[in-house]
Structures are given as C-alpha cells and as structure tokens.
C-alpha cells in the first residue's frame, strides 16, 4: 500500500509539470497591447504602477524559461503565488480565504448528488423497463441538459414573483453561523449537483444491471438471502467501484459549475474570485486560481484511486 501511494505520487510529478506549463503558457499569451489596456482600465492604479513596473510585476521582461523557473520555484519553496496587481494582498491569502467556500459548496453538491442518484439508479436497475425506470431515465437526460445558470436564475426570479420570497444572497461564513450558512448553501449546492447526479444515476443503473446478472448474485438468491442483502451487500458494493471513479473524474464539472453558481448566488468562493480577477485583468490571481484548481482535481483523482481498496476488497495495491 505504501509503495503504491509513493508510486502514484511520483506519477503525479510529470502531470503536475505539464499542468504548470499549461497554466504558465496560457496566461503568458497576453498580447502587448493588453498592458496599455490594463493601464487605461484601472485609472486609480495607473499612477501607482508605470508601464515598466507593470511589465516587471507580470514578469514579462525576462526570457520565458527564466520567468517559468522563478514562478515555479517561488511557489514550490515559498508558497508564494505573487501579489494582486491592483490590491496589495498576496494571492495566497486570497486563495486560502476562498478555497474553503468553494470546497464546501462542491462537497455539499457531491453529497446531494450521490444521495439522490444511487438509490434512484438502484431502483431503476431493479425495476428495469418499468414506467418508473423510464421516468427516471428521462429525468436524468433532462437534468443533464438544463444549464445551472438557467435553474439558478429561475430560482431567483420565480419565487420572488409568486410568493415574494428569494434566496438569501448575503453570504454568512460557516464559522460564524453554521446553520444559516448551510441553509444558504443548500439551494446552490442542489443546482450544482444536478448534472453530476444525472450522470451518477445512469452509471449506477448500468453497473447494477451488469452486476445483477452475475453468478454470485444467483448464488446469493439461492442461499435464500433477503432482497435487501442481495441488492445492497452483494450487488451495490460491487457496482459502486466504477461509480466512485466516475464521481472522481467529474470533479472538474463541479468546480467549473461552481463558478456559475457562485456568480448567481454571490458566494465568495474561487469562482467569484476568478470572475472578478478576469474583469479587472488581475493576472496573478487568474494564474493562482487556475493552478490551484488543476492541482485540486489531480489530488481528488488520487484520493479516488486510493479509495478503491475500501470499497472493493479484491483490489490489492502493489
């Protein structure tokens, strides 16, 4: 097990390297005239930063490989992501403040999605080709197609017209008032989890259908076990392994969707930070968010890989 974890961590190095190159090169594609645009757009900051200062703050005055080396070593050895161009806060501070909010939102969405999807998927498989199965399958297609920003908008608009009620948008941190915070996060998390829930539902159904036809399920029935034990202990546990992989692979979907949901419900997470940074062209923040998101997804995938052993005793790490 330890050797396996070590090998997986080592295998992460090339991927991390490529990810850092992608982040670095993408943001470094800034055309020269954008510098002028940045200076003209941010009047207040213009007198604080001259053109040359801005270029050196962005690190654009050195050769590409040297810029990359400085950037990576600052992050690796000092955890330094640079400073915001227009405010004097460090990007690391901003990231640390916003990351837990997005994490909470994503985690809640994940829990809601899975608790909805797995029972429905199991039901659909057991009652294959019944009216209920068709209903849930159509529903899952619908849930995949409805864009989060539309449902989000409807939730804001319709109840306010009908009942004069609209979701709370003044964010309360979890540490201040956990109950109020959860109440506030519930609707956004539900909307964020919709698409993931649909995918999970469909995969749970196909996996269950496959597992239910296996010999050991027939044996379990023949032993006279009750339906609950057969479906949950024998079938579901085996069907869940690919489902867990899928949920892990969909982490980007949750984080990407969080940007939109945070925007609608004004939740101060990474997504809102990114959008604000984009409108202000604050490149160090953009770079920081971009990199952290990529790294987060990689580690989620790693954790998912390691969790197989808990779910499936046949998996041995070598």
Partner 1 sequence: MAIADAAVRPAIRQHGAVSSFLLRLLREKPLGAICGAIFMLFLFCGVFADLLAPYGMNQINPLNRLKAPSWQFPFGTDNLGRDMLSRCLYGAQLSVIIGFCAAGLATFVSIVLGIVTGYIGGKLDLITQRFVDAWMSFPDLIILIVVVAVVGPGMPQIIVTLGLLLGIGGSRIIRSAVVSVRENMYVHAAQSIGASTGRILWRHILPNVMPPIIVLFTTRVGTVILAESGLSFLGLGVPPPAPTWGGMLSGTGRTYMFQGPWLALAPGLCLTVVVFTTNVFGDALRDLLDPRMRGSR
Among 9, 26, 76, 219, the residue binding partner 1 under the rule CB under 8 A is: 26
Among 18, 53, 74, 115, the residue binding partner 1 under the rule CB under 8 A is: 18
253 binds partner 1 (CB under 8 A): yes
261 binds partner 1 (CB under 8 A): no
Task: Please state at what angle helix 148-162 crosses helix 251-265, rounded to 10 degrees.
Answer: 30
256 binds partner 1 (CB under 8 A): yes
- The token duo for 234 is 């024998």
Which of these, 200, 283, 205, lies nearest to 28 by C-alpha position? Answer: 283
**One-character DSSP codes across 219-256:** HHHHTT--HHIIIIIIIIHHHHHHHHHHHHHTHHHHHH
Kindly identify the residues of this chain, within the stretch 270-299, that bind partner 1 according to CB under 8 A: 274-275, 277-278, 281, 283, 286, 289-290, 293-295, 297-298
Residue span binding partner 1 (CB under 8 A) among the ranges 23-31, 118-126, 172-180, 215-223: 23-31
The CA-based angle 209-210-214, given to 5 degrees, is 115
Kindly identify the residues of this chain, within the stretch 211-230, that bind partner 1 according to CB under 8 A: none
Kindly identify the residues of this chain, within the stretch 185-214, that bind partner 1 according to CB under 8 A: 199, 202-203, 206
Encoded one letter per residue, x for contact with partner 1 by CB under 8 A and - for no contact, window 132-151 reads ---------xx-xxxxxxx-
22 binds partner 1 (CB under 8 A): yes
73 binds partner 1 (CB under 8 A): no
**One-character DSSP codes across 71-114:** HHHHHHHH----B-SSSS-BHHHHHHHHHHHHHHHHHHHHHHHH
Residue span binding partner 1 (CB under 8 A) among the ranges 14-22, 72-80, 90-98, 221-229: 14-22
Q: How near is the Cβ of 135 to partner 1 at its closest, in Å?
A: 13
> Are 288 and 274 contacting, i.e. CB atoms less than 8 angstroms apart?
no
55 binds partner 1 (CB under 8 A): no
Tell me which H or E stretch contains 70: helix 64-78
36 binds partner 1 (CB under 8 A): no
Among 114, 191, 208, 260, the residue binding partner 1 under the rule CB under 8 A is: 260
> Are 163 and 151 contacting, i.e. CB atoms less than 8 angstroms apart?
no
- How far is Cα 47 from Cα 31, in angstroms, rounded to an integer? 22
> Are 141 and 198 contacting, i.e. CB atoms less than 8 angstroms apart?
yes
Give the interface with partner 1 as residue ranges (CB under 8 A).
Answer: 14-19, 21-22, 26-27, 29-31, 34, 141-142, 144-150, 153-154, 157-158, 160-161, 199, 202-203, 206, 252-253, 255-257, 259-260, 263, 274-275, 277-278, 281, 283, 286, 289-290, 293-295, 297-298, 301
């Amino acid at each position: 097990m330890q050797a396996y974890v070590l090998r997986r961590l080592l295998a992460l190095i090339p991927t991390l390297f490529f990810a850092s190159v992608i982040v670095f090169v993408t943001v470094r594609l800034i055309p020269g005239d954008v510098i002028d645009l940045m200076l003209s757009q941010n009047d207040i900051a213009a007198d604080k930063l001259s053109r040359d200062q801005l270029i050196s703050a962005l690190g654009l005055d050195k050769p590409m490989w040297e810029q990359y080396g400085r950037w990576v070593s600052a992050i690796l050895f000092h955890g330094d992501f640079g400073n915001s161009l227009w405010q004097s806060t460090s990007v690391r501070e901003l990231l640390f403040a916003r990351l837990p909010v997005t994490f909470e939102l994503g985690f809640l969405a994940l829990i809601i999605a899975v608790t909805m999807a797995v029972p429905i998927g199991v039901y659909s498989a057991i009652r294959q080709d019944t009216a209920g199965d068709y209903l849930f399958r159509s529903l899952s297609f619908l849930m995949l197609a409805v864009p989060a920003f539309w449902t989000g908008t409807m939730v804001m608009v319709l109840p306010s017209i009908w009942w004069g009620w609209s979701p709370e948008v003044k964010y309360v941190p979890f540490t201040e008032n956990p109950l109020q915070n959860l109440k506030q996060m519930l609707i956004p998390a539900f909307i964020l989890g919709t698409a993931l829930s649909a995918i999970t539902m469909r995969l749970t159904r196909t996996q269950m259908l496959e597992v239910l036809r296996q010999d050991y399920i027939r044996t379990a029935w023949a032993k006279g076990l009750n339906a609950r034990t057969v479906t949950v202990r024998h079938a579901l546990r085996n069907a869940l392994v690919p489902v867990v992989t899928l949920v892990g692979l969909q982490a980007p979907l949750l984080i990407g969707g969080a940007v939109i949901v945070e925007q609608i419900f004004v939740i101060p997470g990474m997504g809102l930070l990114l959008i604000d940074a984009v409108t202000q062209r604050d490149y160090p923040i953009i770079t920081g968010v971009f990199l952290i998101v990529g790294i987060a997804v990689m580690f989620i995938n790693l954790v998912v890989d390691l969790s197989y052993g808990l779910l499936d005793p046949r998996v041995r790490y070598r």
